[in-house]
Amino acid sequence: MNIIEMRSVYREKLDLSIDECDFIYKIILKELCDIDPIKIALDPTFNLSSKSKNTLLESINMIIEDYPIDYLINKKNFYGIDFYIDENVLIPRPETEELVDWLINDNIDIKDQKNVIDLCSGSGCIGISIDINNKYLNVTLSDVSPNALKVCEINKKNLNSNVKIIQLDLNSISKSDKEYDIIISNPPYISLDESNQIGKNVKYEPDIALFTPKNKPLHFYEKILEFASKNLSKNGVIYLEINPNFISEFNQLLTNYTINHVNFKDDFRGKKRLVKLTF
């Protein structure tokens, strides 16, 4: 089978527009078969090896089953950086890039070192992006999941990052060996009541990365604030991604703390999803 014939199979089997089918076909050719997609135009009769043919056909079957392409190719671009990802971690989202951008812009002119901790780090996309963009920010990544921490290690090594990686369970918080000036987190925030409304795209993502305990949509924000009460420096700042469906409950939670400024920000979809708490 040649490269054009396989493109027709993709167009036929995937229930998507021709442009989307071609886009996916090119990604799989490049990332999984190591074939430059330019060959489609320059060498349309190029014959696929049986290995490439099998990979391409298996990939279509997985995509038909809604398997995310990012997991298929073990790669996701986040804040301009290619991160390794697999089924042990959440696929980084564009909304989270806006949270990272907020922190980076707020600290663009600093000349003193600050300690930053990324709680619930998953792949490490938040903390490693911060580390790569500002040498004055000393970043620690933390997660409860040993498998997520392995992904952090892979990204740290691949991206030549200086982050420190620790295992930390927000359900059993103690005083850390150092104070943090900044906490940033995108914790699990989908309540089980909402789980039937979420898209089929998340069905391969780990439950531990998505869901809060039953009837406790704000569980992880309570824990992050408890962590902050023990480990955030005096004038520290917290950047959080939050669930836009629970803003009033979130505001209610904040009334238990003395916070100087609470700034909400809409994400690019116009949803109130980002917040900065200045103490």
Ligand X SMILES: C[S@@+](CC[C@H](N)C(=O)[O-])C[C@H]1O[C@@H](n2cnc3c(N)ncnc32)[C@H](O)[C@@H]1O
Binding site for ligand X (CB under 6 A): 89-90, 92, 96, 120-123, 125-126, 143-145, 148, 168-171, 186-188, 208-209
**Residue 97 CB, nearest approach to ligand X (Å):** 9
Closer residue to ligand X, CB minimum distance, 60 or 120: 120
C-beta of 188 vs 236, nearer to ligand X: 188
Query: Which residues fall within 8 angstroms of residue 15, CB to CB, at 6 or more apart?
Result: 64
Q: Which is nearer to ligand X, 145 or 191 (CB)?
A: 145
In whole angstroms, what separates CA 133 from the centre of its chain?
17
Q: How far is the CB of 185 from ligand X (least distance, A)?
A: 7
**124 vs 236, beta carbon nearer ligand X:** 124
In the bound state with ligand X, the residue whose beta carbon lies nearer, of 6 and 170, is: 170
β-bridge partners, 117: 140, 183
- What single-letter DSSP state applies at residue 2? B
Closest to ligand X by CB, 188 vs 217, is: 188
**Any idea which residue has 């078969």 for tokens?**
33
Identify the DSSP state of 246. G
Cβ closest to ligand X, residue 56 vs residue 90: 90
The amino acid sitting at 25 is Y
CA–CA gap between residue 56 and residue 70 (Å, rounded): 15
For ligand X, which is the closer residue by CB, 208 or 254?
A: 208
Q: How far is the CB of 12 from ligand X (least distance, A)?
A: 34
Residue 44 CB, nearest approach to ligand X (Å): 39
Q: How far apart are CA 191 and CA 200, in angstroms?
A: 16
CA nearest to 188, candidates 206, 201, 200, 166: 206
Least separation in angstroms between CB 207 and ligand X: 9
Give φ, ψ of 93 to 5 degrees. Answer: -110, 155
Concatenated DSSP letters for 75-113?
Answer: -EEETTEEEP--TTSPPP-HHHHHHHHHHHHHTTT--S-
Burial of 204 (0-12, 13-18, 19+ CB in 10 A): middle
The helix (run of H) or strand (run of E) holding residue 231 is helix 219-231
Measured from the CB of residue 272, what is the shortest distance to ligand X in angstroms?
17
Q: Minimum distance between the CB of residue 210 and ligand X, rounded to whole angstroms?
A: 6
Least distance from ligand X to the Cβ atom of residue 133, Å: 16
